[in-house]
Amino acid sequence: MKKILVIRLSSIGDIILTTPVLRELATTFPGSEIDYCTKAPFKVLLSGNPHLNNLFTVDAPPSGSYDLVVDLQNNIRSKRIIRQVQAGVVKSYRKRNWKKLLLVRTRIDLTGTYRSVVDRYREELIASGVKPDEHGCELFPSNADRIFASTALGSGVPVLALCFGAMHASKRYPPEKFARLLSLLFTSMDLSVILLGGKDDIAHAHAIMQALPETERKNVIDLAGKSSLQQSAAVLERADAVLSNDTGLMHMASCFGKKIFVIFGSSVKAFGFLPYHVPYELFENAGLDCRPCSHFGRDRCPEGHFRCMNDIREEDIAEKVLDFFKTQRS
């Protein structure tokens, strides 16, 4: 396999979760040329990756011959890209969406023992000799990104990165509960909190800040909508721990081996999106019989009570975070 094309078009977390496979392909086929095709906004996530030779986008797709095409998107668009090249062997990610839909609609779980999406990405490549290397995901911020992070964070006190956003409301811990949680932390220790998110998360960051007592706002640095993806990655690289909803930034944090405190609302671990090969603590309302209500997420709670998030106590999360920082200091 001298020339390989990998396709994953979106989104942040899904693309980051392909990076172990890129590394394993490079190890299995040393000296091979590995190209990648994605959507333009996500191209930056792969910049600096030493296992890749060329980056292509849907608007400027690859051409020519490939000995192996690894389709980790497996939809109409990715199949169209494959038809535009001369593909030898094609390996496609088996999504098994029917199992997710069965779980959502009937609560019958046929997913079996937990398997990360990374393991499922790799599944069709095992016969080609690709083996798991037991290492995690990878991102490669530039020196400029790291200078941005250093300037933004400063030094002196422990840093907790808070990834408070998510594309769908059913995956977002309420802003007032995040504010209450931060107050519990600030009361117990000196701590700097960094709010990370995109432009769509600015309003939620503002809601968290407004719900905080004015005296505590000085402990929070709001970078929502103010940092690029790789700048956010560099901030996560410098943070001491990460508190996150089920969002792409959670997987970004996993690239740097951080302890991650994960809050799952409508999400469930059966979908395969827990942090990959890093220590984590999961908070969820596991006994709620209306979870999961969707395998993507919803814009509102279909039951009207939002207990999957509202029943997760701020005190329980704060206790685990504080225990972690105490252990780090001892």
Helices (H), the chain: 12-16, 19-28, 76-83, 97-106, 117-122, 143-153, 175-188, 202-211, 229-238, 248-254, 307-310, 314-329
Are 285 and 130 spatial neighbours (Cβ–Cβ below 8 Å)?
Answer: no
Confidence of residue 173 (pLDDT cuts 50, 70, 90): very high
The pLDDT tens digits for 224-257 are 999 999 999 999 999 999 999 999 999 999 999 9
What secondary structure does DSSP assign to 70-116, as a single string?
A: EESS-SHHHHHHHHTSEEEEEEE----HHHHHHHHHH------S---
Q: What's residue 156's pLDDT?
A: 85
Average pLDDT over residues 82-111: 91
Preceding omega of 292 cis (within 30 degrees of 0): yes
Coil, strand or helix at 63? coil
The answer as to CATH 1.20.140.10 being correct for domain 143-329 is no
Does the fold of domain 143-329 match that of domain 3-128? Answer: yes
**Domains of the chain: which residue ranges?**
3-128, 143-329
Q: What's residue 201's pLDDT?
A: 97
The pLDDT tens digits for 43-60 are 999 999 999 999 999 999
- DSSP symbol at 45: G
Q: What's residue 330's pLDDT?
A: 65
Are 194 and 159 spatial neighbours (Cβ–Cβ below 8 Å)?
Answer: yes
Residue among 11, 52, 51, 21 at smallest CA distance from 229: 11
pTM: 0.95
Confidence of residue 325 (pLDDT cuts 50, 70, 90): very high
Coil, strand or helix at 57? strand
Average pLDDT over residues 6-28: 98
The answer as to CATH 3.30.1360.120 being correct for domain 3-128 is no
154 vs 276: which has the higher pLDDT: 276
Confidence of residue 180 (pLDDT cuts 50, 70, 90): very high
Q: What's residue 293's pLDDT?
A: 94
Pairing state between β 220-222 and 241-245: unpaired
Average pLDDT over residues 120-144: 96
